[in-house]
Amino acid sequence: MKCRKCGDRAVINMRQHKLALCGPHFLDWIPDQALRFIEKYRMFDADSRILVAVSGGKDSLGLWDVLGRLGFQADGLYIGLGIDGGTGYSAESQRKCEAFAEAHGLHLIVVDVAEVEGATIPTAASLTNRGRGKPCSVCGLTKRHVMNRVARDGGYDVLATGHNLDDEVAVLFGNTLNWASGYLARQGPVLEGRDGLIRKVKPFCRLYERETAAYALVRGIEYIYDECPHAVGATSIYYKETLNRMEADRPGMKLSFYLAFLRARQQGLFAEAADGPTDSLQACSTCGQPTTAPGQCAFCRTWDAVRARQRVSV
C-alpha cells in the first residue's frame, strides 16, 4: 500500500476515507483534521487558554501534542485517582503525563484525590452506596468536579478532552438504544458552559480510535496501554466491540452514524429535549460550585459521607 500523497510506503490505510498515508504525511494529516474540527465547531481560537484533561492514554496525550503543534496554549490536568488494580494504573499513568509535560516544556497540574479529599477513589466507592461499590460512579462525579474547579479557578476558557469517534459513537449508540433524549440533546463536539460550568470541547471527536492510536505510535508518544482495570466489562466496551463488527463490514459506518446524528440534532430533532425546562443552577453551600440540588452538591455530599464513615471505622 502506497501513500496517496508521495507514493512512499503507507503506515496506515483508512478505508473509511479511502486514504493511505506514509508516516510523515499521516503526522501532518491528524493536526490538519483536528484544526478543521476546532474551526468548524468553533471550539476555541488562537488566544484561548485551554486546559487539557490528560489521563496518560494515547488520546489525551495525542491531543495535547497536537494542540501544541498547532500553536495553541494548552496546560494539562492530571487527576490522581489512586487506582492500582495490581497494575499500578494510576502511578504509571501519572508518570506518562509528567514525562510528556517535561519533554515538551508544558505545564501540568496534578490533583491527587487522596491527598485533597482524604481517600482514593476505590476506597471512597467502598464506603458509599453510590455505584454499589463499583468505583466508576464516584470516579466520574469526582473527575467532573475537579476538572470544573481547576478550569474555573485557573481562569481557563475551555476544557478539552481526548474523546475520539469510537468513544462518541459508543455513547451515542447507548443513548439511542435508551432514547435518552436529554443526553442526545447535549451530546456533541462542544458543550457550552453556563453559570460557572466550564465550556467543554472534543477536538478528536471525528477521529477513529485506530487513527489516534496510530498517531501516538508513529509520533513516538509514550502512553499507558492498559485501560483502567475497572473498565473491564463496561457496557461501553461491549458497544464498541459491536460497532467495530459493523464497521468491519461497512467501513465508514461509525463516522456516518455520528455525522447523521449531528445533522439531525442541528435540524432540531432533539430541540424539544434541549429547550425543555433547563434545571436552574445554584452555588453549592459547601464548595460554591454550580449544582441543581438545593444545598450541597452531589460531590460534597458523597465525600462528606466518605469522611464520616472513615471516622467511624477508625
Binding site for Zn ion (CB under 5 A): 3, 5-6, 8, 22, 25, 284, 286-287, 297, 300
Residue 66 main-chain phi, psi, to 5 deg: -65, -40
Return the one option of Zn ion, ligand Q46, none that residue 228 interacts with (CB less than 5 to 8 A, by type).
ligand Q46
The Cα–Cα gap between 239 and 87 comes to 25
Q: Which residues 6+ apart lie within 8 Å of 131 measured at CB?
A: 125, 137, 138
Minimum CB distance to Zn ion, residue 284 (Å): 3
What is the identity of the amino acid at 222? E
Residue of the chain from 27, 99, 136, 298 that contacts ligand Q46 (CB under 6 A): 136
* Residues numbered 218-247 forming contacts with ligand Q46, rule: CB under 6 A: 228, 230-231
The Cα–Cα gap between 61 and 231 comes to 19
Q: Which residues 6+ apart lie within 8 Å of 251 measured at CB?
A: 15, 16
**Cα separations (Å) of 273 from 179, 181, 184?**
11, 6, 8
> What number of chain residues touch ligand Q46 (CB under 6 A)?
9
Return the one option of Zn ion, ligand Q46, none that residue 254 interacts with (CB less than 5 to 8 A, by type).
none
Q: Closer to Zn ion at the Cβ: 83 or 198?
A: 198
Return the one option of Zn ion, ligand Q46, none that residue 140 interacts with (CB less than 5 to 8 A, by type).
ligand Q46
The C-alpha angle with vertex 55 and arms to 104 and 71, in degrees rounded to 5, equals 35
Return the one option of Zn ion, ligand Q46, none that residue 264 interacts with (CB less than 5 to 8 A, by type).
none
CB 296 within 8 Å of CB 304: yes
Minimum CB distance to ligand Q46, residue 75 (Å): 21
Minimum CB distance to ligand Q46, residue 285 (Å): 27
Minimum CB distance to ligand Q46, residue 228 (Å): 3
Return the one option of ligand Q46, Zn ion, none that residue 286 interacts with (CB less than 5 to 8 A, by type).
Zn ion
Return the one option of Zn ion, ligand Q46, none that residue 284 interacts with (CB less than 5 to 8 A, by type).
Zn ion
Return the one option of Zn ion, ligand Q46, none that residue 200 interacts with (CB less than 5 to 8 A, by type).
none
Continuous segment of H or E residues that includes residue 158: strand 158-160
The Cα–Cα gap between 265 and 256 comes to 14
Q: Closer to ligand Q46 at the Cβ: 160 or 228?
A: 228
133 lines the binding site for ligand Q46 (CB under 6 A): no
The Cα–Cα gap between 79 and 245 comes to 33
Q: Closer to Zn ion at the Cβ: 286 or 310?
A: 286
Count of C-beta atoms within a 10 Å radius of residue 174: 15
What binding mask, one character per residue, do residues 61-90 give for ligand Q46 by CB under 6 A, x or -?
--------------------x-x-------
Q: Which residues 6+ apart lie within 8 Å of 225 measured at CB?
A: none
Minimum CB distance to ligand Q46, residue 120 (Å): 10
Q: Which spans of this chain sit near ligand Q46 (rule: CB under 6 A)?
A: 81, 83, 135-136, 139-140, 228, 230-231
